[in-house]
Amino acid sequence: MDEKGISEEELFAELCSFSDADTNFKKVFSSMCTIPHPVAVAAQQQFSLSNIGDPGLFRGTCEMEAEVIRMSASMLNHPDPKSAFGHLTSGGTESNIEAVLHMKNRFFSSGFNSGFNSDSDSDSNSGFNSDSNSNSDFNSNSFQSRLNLILPKTAHFSFEKIANLLGIELKKAEIDSNFRVIPESMESLINENTIGLIGIAGSTEFGECDPIEELSEIAVKHKLPLHIDAAFGGFIYPFLDSCSNSDIHSNIHGDAHSNHRSNVRFAFDLPGVTSVSVDPHKMGLSVIPAGILIFRDESVLGSSLDKIKVKTPYLTSKYQSTLTGTRPGSSVAAAYAVMKHLGAEGYRKNVSYCMDLVNHFQKELEKIGLKPCIFPRINIVAVSIGSGINETADYEKTEKIRAQLLEKYGWNVSATKTIPALRFVLMPHVTKEDISALIFDLGKLLQETD
């Protein structure tokens, strides 16, 4: 840092040049975040000094956090929202880390995977001595490396970080033609070293929801915790109108039966679901950073909470049991503000706006002879532009078109890795005019390329 500071005028001129280099979301179809609601921004500013890592100093913010958890639990169909247990995090990654950390601790404290029937999977028990129920074994690296977490192949890359961080193996279950996990594949991977299951409600690449009802049954049967990653879908499914995309779907796919998107069951109304992660900073229209992690109640954690609880003698609280220490009260205030201000009605309008964009997007795509790879149940649309004959060539073409859309026309679009396809996230900052302009440019590029 320089010895002498610069004037405010100079400083803000500098800041402007930095912010000019950032996106204003104008041509962004690649992000799962959006422009936050103005009430969220105002609340964030009002509570900029609040740190809920030291709750006694910020009692007001803590009250708001409790209310955000209660409102979210209710949105997630919790039968008794007051008994839900959770807190705000920095987003989906931190929520997933903490959920899996608790799974790991719970696995040890509850005496391993007690619901596992060893007859059904004798091969996978190599080297595991179920009699060695002592803490020294729990902590040895060789033991930990054999613990596993079962998740869909389509799970977000945050789980790769988690595997590394917590020393657990990821067992990836197969997906069906709609990119949803196959429950039988999940179940077949369970063994005595399984610490838990993951389901996704709103997958990053395709916006799909796994068959959570079936995963819930599997979780109950095997007495395993089931964490639902609803980072994106959590603020969508509860507000999805069953009719919003049905007409266009019938036209495109000639299939009027598979268009039910209402009543997607993915959360606490299913008995096997132990925790859910949902991000206000995505479709919750709040500011960055804001995630919410909710457990059904404190008891599902067993003694895991005690394991991560640390004494905090010089703070206003006796213990801290969150992963991070200092936590931004401003994010709590922002989430509280936007949820209270919009209410379910406001979020329903938001989702309806996005689904209207999806309808428009499909109509525009048709004009250039394209259609989505799968029926877009929420506001993520994947579109294959390759021949479907040579996968490598299709990936190359997809990447080339994606890059040209940015270089020639300034459109930010992403590509999927599960299959070669362009991926468009139709967030609230997008307009129908943007979509028409983007598809027009895409059509031109494809003509030039063919």
Using the rule CB under 6 A, which residue among 36, 86, 91, 420 binds ligand 0PR?
91
Helix (H/G/I), strand (E/B), else coil: 406: helix
Stretch that binds ligand 0PR, among 26-34, 354-362, 398-406, 433-441 (CB under 6 A): 26-34
Residue (96 or 275) nearer to ligand 0PR, CB = 96
Q: Which long-range contacts (CB under 8 A, 24 or more apart) does 186-189 make?
A: 186/150, 186/152, 186/215, 186/218, 187/218, 187/222, 189/148, 189/150
State the minimum distance, in angstroms, from the CB of residue 33 to ligand 0PR.
4
State the minimum distance, in angstroms, from the CB of residue 392 to ligand 0PR.
24
Stretch that binds ligand 0PR, among 62-70, 91-99, 100-108, 349-357 (CB under 6 A): 91-99
Residues 331 to 360 in contact with ligand 0PR, rule: CB under 6 A: none
State the minimum distance, in angstroms, from the CB of residue 159 to ligand 0PR.
9
Query: Measuring CA to CA, which residue among 201, 224, 234 is closest to residue 272?
Result: 224
414-416/421-425 β-pairing: antiparallel
256, with CB counted inside 10 A (0-12, 13-18, 19+), is exposed
Stretch that binds ligand 0PR, among 28-36, 52-60, 132-140, 141-149 (CB under 6 A): 28-36
Q: How many residues bind ligand 0PR (CB under 6 A)?
A: 16
- Give ∠ CA 15-16-19 in degrees, rounded to 5: 85
Residue (209 or 301) nearer to ligand 0PR, CB = 209
Answer whether 448's CB lies under 8 Å from 419's CB: no
93 near ligand 0PR, rule: CB under 6 A: yes
Residue (397 or 423) nearer to ligand 0PR, CB = 423
244 near ligand 0PR, rule: CB under 6 A: no
- Tokens 């007690």, located at residue: 114
Strand partners, 277: 229, 293
State the minimum distance, in angstroms, from the CB of residue 221 to ligand 0PR.
25
State the minimum distance, in angstroms, from the CB of residue 160 to ligand 0PR.
11
Using the rule CB under 6 A, which residue among 27, 32, 36, 238 binds ligand 0PR?
32
Distance CA 245, CA 212 (A): 22
State the minimum distance, in angstroms, from the CB of residue 144 to ligand 0PR.
23
Distance CA 289, CA 89 (A): 8
Residues 219 to 238 in contact with ligand 0PR, rule: CB under 6 A: 229, 231-232
- Tokens 């890795």, located at residue: 417
Distance CA 85, CA 32 (A): 26
Residues 95 to 154 in contact with ligand 0PR, rule: CB under 6 A: 96
Question: Max alpha carbon distance in the chain (Å)?
Answer: 73
Quick one: tokens of 384? Answer: 């294959």
61 near ligand 0PR, rule: CB under 6 A: no
Distance CA 103, CA 147 (A): 11
Query: Measuring CA to CA, which residue among 189, 72, 30 is closest to residue 120?
Result: 189
Using the rule CB under 6 A, which residue among 31, 185, 188, 246 binds ligand 0PR?
31
Residues 162 to 221 in contact with ligand 0PR, rule: CB under 6 A: 200, 204
Segments in 368-431 forming alpha helices (H): 391-409
C-alpha separations of 408 from 68, 337, 364, 430, 440 in Å: 43, 40, 20, 19, 13
Q: Which helix H or strand E contains 436, and what residues bound it?
A: helix 432-449
Using the rule CB under 6 A, which residue among 27, 87, 102, 156 binds ligand 0PR?
156
State the minimum distance, in angstroms, from the CB of residue 336 to ligand 0PR.
19
- Beta carbons within 8 Å of 333's beta carbon, 6+ residues apart: 43, 44, 46, 47, 50, 61, 64
State the minimum distance, in angstroms, from the CB of residue 139 to ligand 0PR.
28
Instruction: Kindly write out the interface string for residues 2-21 of this chain, putting x where it contacts ligand 0PR by CB under 6 A and - elsewhere.
Output: --------------------
148-152/194-200 β-pairing: parallel
Using the rule CB under 6 A, which residue among 27, 29, 33, 98 binds ligand 0PR?
33
92 near ligand 0PR, rule: CB under 6 A: yes
State the minimum distance, in angstroms, from the CB of residue 282 to ligand 0PR.
7
Q: Which helix H or strand E contains 163, and what residues bound it?
A: helix 158-166
Residue (279 or 394) nearer to ligand 0PR, CB = 279
Using the rule CB under 6 A, which residue among 187, 279, 364, 394 binds ligand 0PR?
279
State the minimum distance, in angstroms, from the CB of residue 2 to ligand 0PR.
32
Residue (191 or 204) nearer to ligand 0PR, CB = 204
- Residues lying near ligand 0PR in the complex (CB under 6 A) are found at 31-33, 91-93, 96, 156, 158, 200, 204, 229, 231-232, 279, 291
